[in-house]
Every structure is written in structure tokens, then in C-alpha cells.
Amino acid sequence: MTSRTGRHFLHIPGPSPVPERVLRAMDRQVIDHRGPEFGVLGREVLEGCRTIFRTEGPVVIYPGSGTGAWEATIVNTLSSGDRVLMFETGHFATLWRQMVARWGIEVEFVPGDWRHGVDPALVEAKLAEDRGHSFKAVMVVHNETSTGVTSRIPAIRKAIDAAGHPALLLVDTISSLGSVDYRHDEWGVDVTVSGSQKGLMLPPGLGFTAISDKARAAGKSNNLPRSYWDWEEMLKPNATGYFPYTPATNLLYGLREAVAMMLEEGLDNVFARHQRLAAATRAAVEAWGLEVLCQNPDEYSPVLTAVMMPEGKGADAFRAVVLEKFDMSLGAGLSKLSDKIFRIGHLGETNDLTLMGALSGVEMGLAAAGVPHQRGGVLAAMASLRAGLDG
């Protein structure tokens, strides 16, 4: 029987469900983006972003998706002919690499197995070898949304420093910001890229770049042309809360509300909640007798869990059964993981009971789709959550 009552369970790793409070905050008339009321909103959201990115420096908010913010990062810091160091952690690192290469930038792309994050020792070794300092940037995806593997940014920063290398550190936090502890200033990141539709609990449509002084200085002498993405054009009107072109006003109402919600909960509590839900999800996967794609426990993603299908069983047919029978969307395997894994998103507006609903849907779906597994994943997840409460 197909069930279409109640709400749809959106358990992909972003876009994530938008809280009612954020929806209500956006359900307002548009205002004059050159008027005084907008200036107040603009200043509030720009300040709120600094709190979330944990930076004293500027954060630029673009009407655009994360991919746009990727492009902004490149065109504001690098030059054609430059060399950069990147790591094949998964689908999104691969896409960012392709974009970089389109600007005539040479990429050393360190191969990876899509089951591990960036190895800080390898960063140090590569940079130590580069005595002429030809690498202009190290570019890393913090949370690989395609694999559920998180790279350790503080250790990568330490590796760059240990090699005594001046490369910029450019980090994609599109699926980690607001879900995973992240500190732009403290970790010495030069550009932090993000998007609205994941940990920030907003609809898609905003891209962000947090910018260090060193990154801004690099933009004074690089050679890539830009207009829409130009930081300097943005930062002038941003100083008083305004934008050089029509901003996404209603998304900014939502952003103001989402930041307020996160600060009310407390950022550390938000991050701990994500860790707890991720641990419960992994407990369920283990009890089902299935395998988590991420192989290093230090790199488990708090945002999503990628689950490998047993040999001979397609993930897409399983996801189709779950959608049809239980009205739940699970994430697909991307590019080389297509049909081999499914991804459970547990980010943003998620709590113990929404997670338990999702895991029940997965367990019932495994049975309905004839995927070999052991029962008891839901019980294991409940035990994990209960243990967390007692602790």
C-alpha cells in the first residue's frame, strides 16, 4: 500500500527540511532593498554569518548556489597558470577540480578511494616537496556529501604550517557549516565556501564565502576576470548592510531566523546533536549487517551516512521502494558510487524521533525490497540514542 498521508520524509543530505519558523519568517512582503529597513536586515545577517563561520572578517552572501560560491573563490584568489593541490575525496572534490581546471589552473589531484578524507601527512609531504612554492592553494572539501567522509581541517592547517608553505587554504563547507564544528579564523582558513540548503536549514539559493585578509590580498593581484562574483564590489555596499545588486531578500529573512534558532540552541549543542544522530544511524547500519562507506572512524560524517548495498543488490531500486511505500527520499550514490550506495541525511531540522522514523523506513524498505539484512537496526539506534541521553 502506498502511504501519502502525513509529511514527506526528506532524508537526503541536503537540501534539508526547512523549519516552520524559517518558513514563517520568509512568508513576508519584499521590501525596498535600498531602503532603511533593508540596511538593518543586511547588517544583521552579515553579522550573524560571522558568528556561524566563526570569523571576525567579511562573509559575502551571494544569491546563487554553492557552485557559484566555488567559482567566486577561484576567480577572486587565483590566476590562470597557477598550480593548486586538491584531493580526490569524492564526487564534489572532483567537480570542484574540473571547475578549477576550466580557468587554466593546473591541478595536482591526489587520487583517493572515496572512503577516506584528506590525509594531513600527505598534504605536508606534497608541500614540503614544493620548495619553489608553486602551489598557490590547497583546496579541500570539508564534508564530502557523496561519501559521508569528513576531512580534518585543523590537522590540514597544521600540515601546511609544518611544511612552512604559503599556499592559501580554501575549504568547501557546503554540507558541513551549521552541522559540524567549524572555525574559519582559529583554523587559519583563507576562504570558506558554503551554501544555504543544508546545515543552515534554508531553501537552496544562497552561496557564501568567508574571506581572510590573505585571500583578499591575493585578489588584488590575481588575473581572473570577474564581475558578479567580485568580492570588492560586494564588500563596499556590505559595509552599511546593502548589496550591489538585488539581494535574495526573502532568503535573508529566513537566514536571520535560522541563525537565531542555531544560537538559541547553542552552536556546540547543534554540533553534539548531529554527532549523536550520526552515531545512532551507524549503530543501525551495523545491526543490519551492512557496511558504512567511510572507513576511518575519525572521519565519520555527522551530516550523513553512506551505506553500501550488499553485492548484487541495486541501491536505486531499494530507494524507489522506500519512496513508493513510505514517502521517504534517501540520497542516491553519485557518479562512480551510482547504484552502489544510498545516503541517509541526518542534518539540520532533525531530532531523535525524525531520525527514528527515517531509520524505520529504511529497515522496512530493506525487507520490502528483498535486500538481505538482519533485523534490529532500529532497536540498536534507539539504544544508542538512549545511551546518549543517560550520558
Ligand X SMILES: Cc1ncc(COP(=O)(O)O)c(C=O)c1O
Which spans of this chain sit near ligand X (rule: CB under 6 A)?
Answer: 14, 65-67, 92, 141, 145, 172, 174-175, 195
Angle (CA) 145-166-170 rounded to 5° is 20
Nearer to ligand X, 157 or 198 (CB): 198
Nearer to ligand X, 175 or 384 (CB): 175
Distance CA 341, CA 315 (A): 6
Residue type, 166: P
Amino acid identity for residue 317 in this structure: A
C-alpha cell at 166: 604559503
Least separation, in Å, of the C-beta of 199 and ligand X? 11
- Find the shortest distance in angstroms from Cβ 164 to ligand X: 29
Q: What is the smallest separation between the CB atom of 5 and ligand X, expressed in angstroms?
A: 30
Task: For residue 180, give the amino acid letter.
Answer: V
**What b/e readout covers 278-295, taking b as 16+ CB neighbours within 10 angstroms?**
bbbbbbbbbbbebebbbe
Q: Measured from the CB atom, is 180 or 321 closer to ligand X?
A: 180
For the beta carbon of residue 366, count every other beta carbon within 10 angstroms.
24
Q: Is the dihedral of CA 63, 66, 67, 73 positive or negative?
A: positive
Least separation, in Å, of the C-beta of 35 and ligand X? 29
Nearer to ligand X, 49 or 127 (CB): 49
**Amino acid at the residue 262:** M
What's the closest the beta carbon of residue 307 comes to ligand X, in angstroms? 18
Residue 193 Cβ vs ligand X, minimum distance, rounded to whole Å: 8
Q: Are strands 328-332 and 9-11 parallel, antiparallel or unpaired?
A: parallel
User: Residue 34 is which amino acid?
Assistant: R
Question: SS3 breakdown of the chain: % helix, strand, coil, rounded to 5?
Answer: 45, 15, 40
**Which residue carries 554527532 as its cell?**
275
Q: Which is nearer to ligand X, 65 or 250 (CB)?
A: 65
Least distance in angstroms from the C-beta of 197 to ligand X: 6
* Shortest Cβ 209–ligand X spacing (Å): 13
The residue number whose beta carbon is nearest to ligand X equals 66
CA distance 364 to 357: 11
The residue among 26 and 72 lying less far from ligand X, judged by its C-beta, is 72
Burial zone of 32 (CB within 10 Å; 0-12 exposed, 13-18 middle, 19+ buried): exposed
DSSP letter for 138, please: E
Calpha distance 265→279 (Å, rounded) = 20
Cβ proximity to ligand X, 76 vs 196, nearer residue:
196
Of the pair 89, 249, the CB lying nearest ligand X is at 89
Nearest Cα neighbor of 3 from 376, 362, 342, 361 is 361
